[in-house]
Each structure stands twice: as C-alpha cells, then as structure tokens.
Amino acid sequence: MTNIEEYIKKELSKGFSKKEIKETLLKAEWPEDEVDKALKDVDAEEYPQHKHPSPKVWVGVAITLIIILIVGGLLFKYAYYDEMIKEKCKNMPTWVKVYNCAYEHGLIKPVETEKVVEEVKETEEGEV
C-alpha cells in the first residue's frame, strides 16, 4: 500500500468525500493519474459514514409499522373491547336495558318497529 492510499483511507475515515480528497491531493501537486489510481484501489473498501440507508428501507419500515398498528387495533377491538361491552351489557338488570346497551355499542341492529307492528296487525288472533 502506498502513502497516497494510506492518506486517502485516513481522510475517508475522518468523513471527507473522495472529491474533497482528490482536490486536496491535486493542490499538493500529486499527478492526477496517480490520485485516480489510488482512489480506485481504495474504492474497493467500504466506509460506513459514506453509506446511507436506501429510502426503500424507510418505506418498508413505515409500511410495517402501519400494518402492526392496524392489526393491533383490530385485535383490541374484536378480542377485548367487544367482550368488555358484552360483559357490561350482560350485567344490566332488565332485558330492555341489555338491548339498549348492546344497541348503543353497535353489537346488535335496531329492530324495525313499524315492520313488526304491521306484521302483528296482519296476523289473526288464531295464529298467535
């Protein structure tokens, strides 16, 4: 390894870019072909401070977090919240209160009272 290669590695480890190092060496009157050759030789090694995570990585992380939040929310709603409401409604003293509690929390659909009243009117006493 030549002195110029050692110098380049030292400067890269300090965080200088290859362009800055090349400009400095050319100002110090090093021949451009030697500088380019040394940069190519050193180029085979990687320096962590010059490597940045790809934007694709951050997009993947964001999507993963969103999926985790959605799944967690659904699990909470269907596994815990609904059971909690059912228990709350079950402990009501009358069936009307149980119905109203379940209706308020969206566990049952409302009864179509007009339809029921019409059906009752249409039935004869003997059918009841």
Angle between helical axes of 32-43 and 3-14 (0-180°, round to 10): 60
Q: Is 32 helix (H, G, I), strand (E, B) or coil?
A: helix
Which residues lie below 8 Å from residue 47, measured CB to CB, with a gap of 6+? 12, 13
Mean pLDDT of the chain: 76
pLDDT at 66: 95
pLDDT at 32 over 60: yes
Q: Is the pLDDT of residue 60 over 60?
A: yes
Residue of 94 and 8 predicted with greater confidence: 8
- Mean pLDDT for the stretch of residues 19-33: 88
The per-residue DSSP string of 76-106 comes to IIIIIIHHHHHHHHHT-SSHHHHHHHHHHTT
Residue 11 has pLDDT above 90, yes or no: no
At 33, which helix (H) or strand (E)?
Answer: helix 32-43
pLDDT score of 6:
86
pTM for this prediction: 0.36
